[in-house]
């Protein structure tokens, strides 16, 4: 009936999904495609090679985006599943796969389409998000849905913890749904486009703290961009960058000049916000070690005034 399934992906999330997909599809997984990202510190190319070798899965390693279409044409799959891929797939490529090209987006579509959906969800104080397995089409995350899995965002969870949940959910949903997709027994449903929301691309410079914002919003701002991301940042009066990795809400009403270090707590320093205050507990000063629990900021230091 079909030429089976081909997996396309990279990074740890892709390698984990590939291993689970191999278990779910067995001989119907006819090949895997990744790219040579060995210069990237997040690369797991060696693990990709080992996974494929152990399961006798033919592996194609690309060096440029334009190589994907001919690679898939040579493999002639009925179905393609994509996890951890950072190159755009052209409409022409999508049309060459009879059973469709499916991927996972880290939101409950149609909400949070686009870039950095998990970061935006934390920034906006969401208490739940999830992952969506959907069929790629010509739009931005607009294709028909195959399955979704929701999970909570705890009020103190950081982006690292939410990323881990999303990775686990992605691997599970791909393994569970691959066989129905390949055999054509999956019933897809269209997204309700009237409920759609979109997320813009984020860059490291977008992590600059505006101390005029209320403390709860800045608390979300910090936990949404902490490690493994570049972090939320501010500046000392001498111009050095201070990257803030962790903070907690000061538990009492606080009246102060936004950005002013007002007092010392056992685990950090209190910084006034537009409404309330944060206790900054872990941060890095440009050119100096990380400080956790004993930050050296002194009372009276005014962190950068928003421009």
* Domain boundary assignment for the chain: 5-198, 204-292
Mean pLDDT of 4-16: 97
What pLDDT sits at residue 3?
79
Please give the CATH number for the structural domain made up of 5-198. 3.40.50.170
pLDDT at 306 over 80: no
Q: Pairing between strand 79-83 and 128-135?
A: unpaired
Q: Which CATH class is domain 204-292?
A: alpha beta
Distances (CA, A) of 1 to 24, 34, 182: 18, 26, 10
What pLDDT sits at residue 86?
86
Distances (CA, A) of 303 to 38, 166, 222, 284: 39, 35, 15, 14
What pLDDT sits at residue 305?
61
Number of Cβ within 10 Å of residue 3's Cβ equals: 16
pLDDT (tens digit per residue) in 181-234: 999 999 999 999 999 999 999 999 999 999 999 999 999 999 999 999 999 999
Q: What is the pTM of this model?
A: 0.93
What whole-number distance in Å separates Cα of residue 5 and Cα of residue 2? 8
pLDDT at 170 over 60: yes
Mean pLDDT of 127-138: 97
What pLDDT sits at residue 238?
87
Mutual orientation of helices 11-25 and 45-55 as an angle, nearest 10°?
10
pLDDT at 292 over 60: no
Match 């965002």 to its residue by tokens.
153
Number of Cβ within 10 Å of residue 189's Cβ equals: 11
pLDDT (tens digit per residue) in 222-253: 999 999 999 999 999 888 899 999 999 999 99
pLDDT at 26 over 60: yes
Mean pLDDT of 96-101: 96
The answer to whether 290 and 301 are in contact (CB under 8 A) is no
């Amino acid at each position: 009936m079909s030429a089976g399934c081909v997996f396309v992906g990279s990074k740890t999330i892709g390698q984990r999904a590939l291993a689970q997909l191999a278990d779910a599809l067995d001989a119907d997984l006819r090949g895997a495609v990744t790219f040579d990202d060995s210069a990237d510190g997040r690369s797991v190319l060696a693990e990709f090679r080992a996974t494929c070798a152990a399961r006798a899965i033919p592996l194609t390693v690309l060096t440029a985006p334009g190589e994907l279409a001919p690679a898939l044409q040579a493999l002639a799959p009925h179905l393609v599943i994509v996890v951890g891929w950072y190159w755009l797939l052209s409409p022409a490529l999508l049309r060459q796969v009879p059973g469709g090209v499916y991927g996972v987006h880290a939101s409950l579509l149609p909400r949070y389409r686009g870039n950095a959906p998990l970061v935006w969800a934390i920034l906006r104080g969401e208490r739940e998000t999830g992952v969506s397995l959907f069929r790629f089409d010509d739009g931005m995350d607009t294709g028909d849905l195959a399955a979704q899995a929701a999970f909570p965002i705890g009020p103190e969870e950081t982006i690292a913890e939410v990323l881990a949940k999303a990775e686990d959910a992605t691997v599970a949903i791909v393994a569970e749904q691959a066989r129905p997709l390949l055999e054509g027994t999956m019933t897809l449903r269209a997204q309700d486009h009237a409920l759609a929301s979109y997320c813009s691309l984020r860059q490291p410079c977008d992590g600059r703290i505006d101390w005029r914002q209320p403390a709860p919003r800045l608390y979300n701002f910090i936990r949404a961009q902490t490690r493994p991301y570049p972090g939320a940042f501010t500046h000392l009066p001498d111009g050095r960058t201070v990257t803030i990795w962790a903070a907690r809400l000061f538990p009492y009403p606080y009246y102060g000049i936004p950005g002013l270090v007002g007092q010392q707590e056992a685990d950090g320093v209190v910084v006034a916000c537009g409404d309330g205050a944060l206790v900054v507990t872990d941060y890095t000063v440009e050119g100096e070690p990380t400080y956790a629990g004993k930050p050296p900021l002194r009372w009276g230091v005014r962190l950068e005034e928003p421009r």
